[in-house]
Amino acid sequence: MRILGIDPGLGTMGWGVIDTDGVKHRLIQYGAILTQPNQPLPQRLRSVFKGVTQLMETFQPEEVAFEELFFSKNITTGMAVSAARGVALVAVAEKTDNLFEYTPMQIKQAITGYGKADKHQIQMMVRLMLSMDETPRPDDAADALAVAITHAHSMRASQLFKIN
């Protein structure tokens, strides 16, 4: 199965594509969709939409997993990132109904076995799980790969995490 993992963001939206049989995972590609802060919001959102649409067409994932948003302080930033996530959801939904989401704690638990792991621990485990020579950069891409791996580990119970 091919899985696209997405770490939502407006300035940097991380993405990672893996193939998996549920136990073994193979890295296909990863990266980030970048938008410029000096551009108007509608142009940035259009860039996100086009970028995610291109990912769907290029990699043709069977399932797509998102990291659920969590904001504790800056509501203005939260609203912009939520808009970017919404645009990404629409781009994915144009191609498939197989959309899933996981909380940051669920991802940390699935990748490291510890729900409060730090970013460095996540990155090192992603690198090991995908037999990578280097830590994926930017951090958002490593997070997106962690989302994809989390979904791969949850395949048997994936309907619990489906976005409806």
| DSSP state, residue 158 | G
Catalytic residue among 63, 67, 101, 143: 67
Within 8 A by CB and 6+ apart from 139, the residues are: 14, 119, 123
Residue 156 to residue 39: CA distance in whole angstroms? 42
Catalytic, out of 7, 63, 101, 143: 7
User: Does 67 participate in catalysis according to the annotation?
Assistant: yes
Which residues lie closer than 8 Å to 23 by C-beta, 6 or more apart?
A: none
CB 101 within 8 Å of CB 164: no
The reply to whether 140 belongs to the active site is yes
**Active-site residue (options: 63, 101, 140, 143):** 140
User: Which of 55, 52, 60, 54 minimizes the C-alpha distance to 85?
Assistant: 52
Alpha carbon of 144 to those of 74, 75, 118, 120: distances in Å? 22, 23, 15, 14
Report the chain's terminal Cα–Cα distance, integer Å: 21
Q: Which residues are marked as active site?
A: 7, 67, 140
